[in-house]
Amino acid sequence: MLITGASGLLGNNLACYFAGKFDVLGLYNEHPVVIPGIRTESCDLLDVEALRRVVDGFRPSVIIHCASLANVDACESDPELSERLNVACTRLIADALGGADTRLVYISTDSVYEGTKGRYSEEDATRPLNVYGRTKWEGERPVLERPGGLVLRTNLFGWNIQDKKSLGEWILGELAAGRSIGGFRDAVFSTIYTMELARVIDVAIRRKLSGLYNCGSSDSCSKYEFALKIADRFGFDRRLIRPISIDDFEFRARRGKDLSLSSKRIEEALEYRMPDIDQSVDAFYKDYRCGVPEGIKSSVSRKADPFPFIPYGRQWIDENDIQAVVQVLRSERITQGPKVEAFEEALADTCGARYAVAVNSGTSALHIACLAAGVGAGHEVITSPITFVASANCAAYCGARPVFADIDARTFNISPDEIRKKMSGRTAAVIPVHMAGQSCDMEAIAQLVRQTAGDRKIFIIEDACHALGSLYKGMKVGACSWSDMTVTSFHPVKHITTGEGGAVLTNDETLCRTLKRFRSHGITHRPEEFTVRERAFRRDPSAGNPVPNPWYYEQLDLGYNYRITDIQSALGLSQMEKMGRIRSRRRGIVNRYNEAFADLDWLATPFESPDCDTNFHLYIGLFDFDRIGMDRAETALRLRSKGIQTQVHYIPVHLQPFFQARFGTAKGDCPRAETYYERCLSLPLHPALSDEEVELVIGEILALQSRGR
């Protein structure tokens, strides 16, 4: 269930009610809230892209649209704003749903009626006297145009999460303070307590009610009488309440005097008796005694920190992902089952490769890729120094020597010219790393490897752990257009996640079979690969040919337990369904950063080759820390104090103590990589970043220089 206006009275009260009944996402705009048992998220409902991103990502089965400009006089003062929030916003929500089978519930108002006769039914004419009533009435139309759309006209009171008061709260507060108040004797309504309204909505949703209904209390009273009911129920002195006329009060907007509603139609449709006003007041009192208002109001204070922690990267998990995993947990197989194969097929199809072999991490994927390439003792494997250590460790695992070729200063990727300098007769493989998501110059690398190799086979293994969804010269990274194998990762900070996981993509069937053996102890269950035939097969006279024994397997290699599970694969499959949205959001954040930092002479934004269309995994800026007046550590700590995590990607691998001690690498081996390392700093980049958080990051980065000096 998606509830708009979660920071408002009704939206918040409904979110609290439905928290234990649905998986609820509450949307707010300017007032952050934390509500126990549900997720909340900032979203400008007038921002079409932001709205579609939320709807497409969450895929609600029900939307209750509560967000509106409900201050009657404010609507009269600013009819344009009222039109945008009460009409245009509702239409955008309906449009965002498209043809989705989502039930849209719209909370309208009794102010759509003229307020002269009272006991209005749905068949009575709507003649609103003010801008609020007119815009709420116009907002009903796009909902009623949708199949299954439900419009509820009501008047309500409840507990406000913000520093505002509904009529019921105001009366209660004034009487509790011993202050005298006036109540309109000539303003009649059929108000209903929000939690009672929530119960009606709950029944309506479960019975799939659609159409237009009045939804107030079963009876009516004047606002003066309503104040008396609250005084009596809470034990206050009713003599503090005096009757006054609405005619004596100078409102900006005209108001109807008798807006009482007939709710017979919804009672008949739901076979549900609407509460009367006394029952609503009684429920209001009981919730008050149980501490409900304190619990609601504490929700907003829990978000008091103006600088929430913003990680540099994180997973983006929605309800669809959760349900995909839950389904596997409820199935018979949770380890190596059908989801693994389905995930591999989907991954291969997405990347344009013939085969995918999924494993338990990107590191494992690199290892078995080297094993499948025959990398071993006496061999050398060329890779980049600007990468995670796994890109080089995979060679060391096999007994080979990692060799580091310096980077291109603009792309941060391994330089083809530097690869050429490091090639030798011992080179068994080259592992180009697509740093931050941008592809290396694979065509140039493939050409020089072929030219250098001669009659030998030198494998090219793309480390694309940062680059799922990227393109190079119009070809998908992962299609192995210029390589033998491509490795990717599904760690939580990557583009999609399986918790932990990775895969090797290839177009070579033999390599695929070899990779699968190394993934699972070096064991094969394929009869055509069996070598000890007298143990593997039995003679079946009816079949005419030897038949493999059903229990039989053979270990052909020294493999590993690098298998991925059905649980992880189900999550991966679900994540891949939103790859397009993930890519779009990442690119949008990168574009916003680039725009904001374009004119800074102390921060170089990432360069993107014209050959590439990059699905950025990292946003790496090159900082002139001397110009800022702070070193990198102080800069990172200052940003962290504002709730912003940064990271360094990476310490050059050839400077790591293990490689210096084991392979004799040293400072000065890769000068461009070392220069890059002194200036690089990664800023937050992940699809779960809100626009508000992006702007907070930008603001704190722009403020660095003045603070440093």
Specify the residue for token string 């007119």: 134
Using CA atoms, how far apart are residues 624 and 597, in angstroms rounded to an integer? Answer: 13
Distances (CA, A) of 253 to 134, 186, 250, 257, 632: 12, 17, 9, 13, 58
Using CA atoms, how far apart are residues 24 and 18, in angstroms rounded to an integer? Answer: 7
Q: Which two tokens stand for residue 537?
A: 């097969």
* Nearby residues of 239 by Cβ (< 8 Å), 6 or more positions away: none
User: What are the two backbone dihedrals, phi and then psi, of residue 621, each rounded to the nearest 5 degrees?
Assistant: -100, 150
Q: Are 493 and 647 in contact (CB under 8 A)?
A: no
Using CA atoms, how far apart are residues 301 and 310, in angstroms rounded to an integer? Answer: 19
Degrees to nearest 5, angle at CA 294 with 293 and 296: 65
Looking at 136, 257, 476, 494, which residue is catalytic? 494
Peptide bond into 650 cis (omega under 30): yes
Q: Which two tokens stand for residue 109?
A: 């108002």
Query: How long, in residues, is the chain?
Result: 709
3-state percent breakdown (helix, strand, coil) of the chain, nearest 5? 40, 15, 40
Say whether 494 is catalytic.
yes
Q: Are 4 and 106 in contact (CB under 8 A)?
A: no
Helix (H) / strand (E) containing 582: helix 579-597
Q: Which of 208, 572, 504 is nearest to 363 (CA)?
A: 504
Q: Which of 443, 447, 471, 467 is nearest to 458 (CA)?
A: 447
Helix (H) / strand (E) containing 104: strand 103-109
**Rg, C-alpha atoms of the chain:** 32
* Nearby residues of 213 by Cβ (< 8 Å), 6 or more positions away: 122, 150, 151, 152, 153, 204, 263, 265, 266, 269
Q: Are 636 and 621 in contact (CB under 8 A)?
A: no
Q: Which residues on adjacent β-strands are paired with residue 401? A: 380
Q: Which residues on adjacent β-strands are paired with residue 189? A: 221
Q: Are 241 and 181 in contact (CB under 8 A)?
A: yes
Helix (H, G, I), strand (E, B) or coil at 238: helix
User: What are the two backbone dihedrals, phi and then psi, of residue 513, each rounded to the nearest 5 degrees?
Assistant: -65, -40
Residues 49-55: contacts with CB within 8 Å, 24+ apart?
Answer: 49/588, 50/691, 51/92, 51/93, 51/96, 52/96, 53/581, 53/584, 53/585, 54/2, 54/25, 54/27, 55/2, 55/93, 55/96, 55/97, 55/100
Helix (H) / strand (E) containing 402: strand 401-404
Strand duo 475-476 + 471-472: pairing: antiparallel
State the chain's maximal CA–CA distance in angstroms: 105
Using CA atoms, how far apart are residues 496 and 530, in angstroms rounded to an integer? Answer: 37
Helix/strand/coil (H, E, C) string of 30-43?
CCCCCCCCCEEEEC
Helix/strand/coil (H, E, C) string of 168-215?
HHHHHHHHHCCCCEEEECCCEECCEEHHHHHHHHHHHHHCCCCEEEEC
- Where in the sequence numbering do the catalytic residues fall? 494
